[in-house]
Chain A
C-alpha cells in the first residue's frame, strides 16, 4: 500500500509542485489570496473561486483523460456542453421537473458520446475527424433547441447545481470532486484502467489477447459525453440560462490542455485522472492569477501557449532520450548501488 502511495506521490509531484509555485507567485502579487471566509455556511475566497470556476474544465478533463488514454481525442465536448445546456433549459422550462430534466440531459450527453464512439470504434474513423463532425454541427443543433435565443429559467433546483453549496463547498466543486473520485476508483480498483491503457498502447494486440476493444472504446467516448453533459448543466445553471453560442466555447482545448499539463501522453497509454484534475486547476490558477495580479487578460493566451510549448519540449521523445542519455552517462554508478541496496 505504501509503495502505491509512493508511486502516486512521484507521479503527481511535478503537477503539485507547479500548482504550488503558481499559487505562491499569485499570492506575492495579491496578498489576500489565501484568505478563506465562512459566510452563510459557505466558504468564500480566491482558492474556492479557482475550484469553482475550474469545475467545467475539470469535469471535461476526466472524460478526456480516458479518451486520450485510448489514443483518441474528443473535440466535440464543448459543443456537447452547449447541446446539453440547451436540452436542460428546454426541459425545465417545459415542466419536466428536476429529476426528469437531469435524466434527459445526461441521456443526451451519453447519446452524443455513443455517436462519437460508434464512429471511432465501429466505422474505424480517426478520432479527430469523427468528433469534428459533432463539433461543427453541435452548436447548430444547440441553436435549433433554443431557437436562437438564450433560454432562461428560474427553477431553484437546477440553479442550486450551479450556485448552491454543500458542506461549505460550492455545488460544482462537490460534483467534480465526487465524480472524479468515482471514475478514478472504477478504473483503478478494477481491471478497466489497465485494459484502457492496453488498448491505447496497441489496439490490435489487446484485441488479439481477448480485450473487447470496441465496447471499451465506445464506453470511453460515452464517459466523455457524460462528463460534457454534467459540465453543460453546471455552465447553464451558473448563468441561469442556455447560451448555445458561448456555452463551452473552446473548452475542449482547455480540457485537452489540462490532460497534457497533467503529464498524460497524447499518444495514449498510461493515464492518471488525478494528474489531469491538477492540470485543470493549474490552468484555472493561471487564469485567475492573471486577473488578480492586475496583468491585462490579453496575456492569458500567450502564457497558455508558453506552458504548452514548455510541456511539449519536456515530453518530446528527443528530450526524453536526451534525459536518459544524460542520467546514464552521469549517474550510472550510483543508480547501480541504489539497486543493490534494495
Chain B
C-alpha cells in the first residue's frame, strides 16, 4: 500500500474500532438516530474543518474561523431582527463579507510575506471584536424561514434523520473532495504545501492560490456560521470560542500532514466523526465528565503526530535506499 494512505487508513480503523467498542458497551449506539445526530451536532464544525483542511494542506493555518462563525451568527441575528430582508439575502451578504475577509487575510499573508499564524490571529481579534460591536447579547432568531429549514430532513430507516444542516455538511465534504482532487486549484494547493519555491518553479500562481485558499476558508467559516445559527436559532458573540482548535485537531486526526502537501479532505470527515463519537460516548456513559473529551482528543492528536513523524522517517529511509 502507498504510505500516503497510511494515516487515512489508521484514522478509519480507529473510528471503526472505537465505534465497535462503543456498540459493545451500549448496543443502542448502533441506531441510525445516533448516526443522524452525530452528523447534525457536528455539522458546523465539519464545514469549517473542510476550509481548514485546504489551509493546512497549503502549509498554512487559519486561527480566525471560530471568531468568523460567531460574527456570522451575530450578523445574521442583528440583520433579521432590525430589518425585514429575507434570510436568503442575509445569508448571501454574510457569505460575501466572510469570503472577502478571508481573501483580505490571504492577500496580507502573500503580499506582506508574514506568517499565516499571526495574520489570522489578527483576523480572529478583528472578527470577534466586530461581533462584540454588533451586539454583546445573545439574540434569538425567530424568522419562520428558519423553522422551515430546520423542518427539512431525510428519514433514515430506523427513525434516524439526516437534517438539512447534516446533509449540507456531507455535500460540502463531497464538494471539498472534488475541489481537492479534481481541479487545478486543488493541485495548486497540494503543490504549495509541498514547498512555495518548488511550486513557483512549477508555474503555480502562488499569490492567487494563497488568496483563494483563505477566501475559501472564510467562505466555509461563513457557511458554518449560518449552519450554527440554524442549529442554535440565535446569534451570540461569545459562541464557538476555540472551534479553530477542534477543526485543526480534526484535520490532523484525519491524517493531513500539518506541514502541508499531503492529506485528504475525506480524512477530516472521519476526524470530525471520531470527535463526535467521543462526545456521544461520554453522553451515553453519563458518569464521565466532558473534560475527558479534551484529554482524549489531545492524546489522539499526539498519537497521529507521532504516526506522521514515523511515516516521514520511513519514506525518507526508503528513498535513501532506493
Q: Which positions in A face B, CB cutoff 8 Å?
A: 73, 123-126, 128-130, 132-141, 143-144, 148, 244, 253, 256-257, 260, 266-267, 296-305, 308-309, 312-313, 315-319
Q: Are the CB atoms of B136 and A305 closer together than 8 Å?
A: no
**Also in contact, A316 and B118, with CB within 8 A (given A126-B258, A136-B245, A308-B125):** no
Looking at the assembled complex, report how far the CB atom of A261 sits from the nearest CB atom of chain B, in whole angstroms. 11
- 7 A-B residue pairs with Cβ-Cβ distance under 8 Å, sorted by A, are A125-B309, A126-B258, A132-B249, A143-B289, A266-B115, A301-B125, A312-B114
Could you say which residues of chain A place their CB within 8 Å of the CB of B111? 318
Q: Are the CB atoms of B113 and A316 closer together than 8 Å?
A: yes
Q: Are the CB atoms of B291 and A139 closer together than 8 Å?
A: yes
Q: Are the CB atoms of A140 and B122 closer together than 8 Å?
A: no
Closest 10 CB pairs of A and B: A137-B298, A301-B129, A140-B294, A302-B129, A298-B132, A143-B291, A316-B112, A305-B126, A308-B122, A140-B295
Q: Are the CB atoms of A301 and B291 closer together than 8 Å?
A: no
Q: Any chain A CB within 8 A of the CB of B76?
A: no
Q: Any chain A CB within 8 A of the CB of B259?
A: yes
Q: Any chain A CB within 8 A of the CB of B302?
A: yes
Looking at the assembled complex, report how far the CB atom of A317 sits from the nearest CB atom of chain B, in whole angstroms. 5
**Also in contact, A315 and B114, with CB within 8 A (given A132-B245, A136-B249, A301-B125):** yes
**Also in contact, A134 and B291, with CB within 8 A (given A302-B130, A312-B122):** no
> How many Å lie between the Cα of A308 and that of B252 in the bound state?
28
Q: Are the CB atoms of A129 and B125 closer together than 8 Å?
A: no
> How many Å lie between the Cα of A134 and that of B301 in the bound state?
10
Across the interface, A124 reaches (CB within 8 A) one of B113, B252, B294, B309, namely B309
Q: Any chain A CB within 8 A of the CB of B233?
A: no
> How many Å lie between the Cα of A312 and that of B309 in the bound state?
32
Could you say which residues of chain B place their CB within 8 Å of the CB of A139? 291, 294
Looking at the assembled complex, report how far the CB atom of A27 sits from the nearest CB atom of chain B, in whole angstroms. 24
Which residue in chain A gives the minimum CB-CB distance to B301? Answer: A133
Report whether over half of chain B's contact residues are helix, strand or loop; otherwise say mixed.
Answer: helix
Looking at the assembled complex, report how far the CB atom of B279 sits from the nearest CB atom of chain A, in whole angstroms. 13
Could you say which residues of chain A place their CB within 8 Å of the CB of B61? 128
Could you say which residues of chain A place their CB within 8 Å of the CB of B301? 132-133, 136-137
- Of the candidates A136, A298, A302, A318, the one having the most CB atoms from chain B within 10 angstroms of its own CB is A136
> How many Å lie between the Cα of A176 and that of B52 in the bound state?
38
Could you say which residues of chain A place their CB within 8 Å of the CB of B112? 312-313, 316-319
Q: Are the CB atoms of B118 and A266 closer together than 8 Å?
A: yes
Which residue in chain A gives the minimum CB-CB distance to B121? Answer: A253
Looking at the assembled complex, report how far the CB atom of A303 sits from the nearest CB atom of chain B, in whole angstroms. 8
Q: Are the CB atoms of A136 and B132 closer together than 8 Å?
A: no
Which residue in chain B gives the minimum CB-CB distance to A313? Answer: B112
Could you say which residues of chain A place their CB within 8 Å of the CB of B249? 132, 136
> How many Å lie between the Cα of A143 and that of B282 in the bound state?
16
Q: Are the CB atoms of A136 and B294 closer together than 8 Å?
A: yes
B118-159 interface (Cβ within 8 A of A): 118-119, 121-126, 128-130, 132-133, 136
Looking at the assembled complex, report how far the CB atom of B109 sits from the nearest CB atom of chain A, in whole angstroms. 10
Could you say which residues of chain A place their CB within 8 Å of the CB of B209? none
Q: Are the CB atoms of A134 and B119 closer together than 8 Å?
A: no
**Also in contact, A130 and B119, with CB within 8 A (given A136-B297, A143-B291, A298-B129):** no
Q: Any chain A CB within 8 A of the CB of B305?
A: yes
Which residue in chain B gives the minimum CB-CB distance to A250? Answer: B241
Q: Any chain A CB within 8 A of the CB of B299?
A: yes
Q: Any chain A CB within 8 A of the CB of B248?
A: yes
**Also in contact, A148 and B245, with CB within 8 A (given A140-B295, A308-B121):** no
Looking at the assembled complex, report how far the CB atom of B244 sits from the nearest CB atom of chain A, in whole angstroms. 11
Could you say which residues of chain B place their CB within 8 Å of the CB of A136? 245, 249, 294, 297-298, 301
> How many Å lie between the Cα of A296 and that of B135 in the bound state?
11
Looking at the assembled complex, report how far the CB atom of A271 sits from the nearest CB atom of chain B, in whole angstroms. 16
Q: Are the CB atoms of A305 and B117 closer together than 8 Å?
A: no
> How many Å lie between the Cα of A308 and that of B132 in the bound state?
19
Which residue in chain A gives the minimum CB-CB distance to B302? Answer: A133
> How many Å lie between the Cα of A266 and that of B109 in the bound state?
14
Q: Any chain A CB within 8 A of the CB of B108?
A: yes
Could you say which residues of chain A place their CB within 8 Å of the CB of B124? 253
> How many Å lie between the Cα of A297 and that of B291 in the bound state?
30
Q: Are the CB atoms of B129 and A140 closer together than 8 Å?
A: no
> How many Å lie between the Cα of A251 and that of B292 in the bound state?
23
Q: Are the CB atoms of A260 and B118 closer together than 8 Å?
A: yes
Looking at the assembled complex, report how far the CB atom of B308 sits from the nearest CB atom of chain A, in whole angstroms. 9
Across the interface, B306 reaches (CB within 8 A) one of A123, A134, A253, A298, namely A123
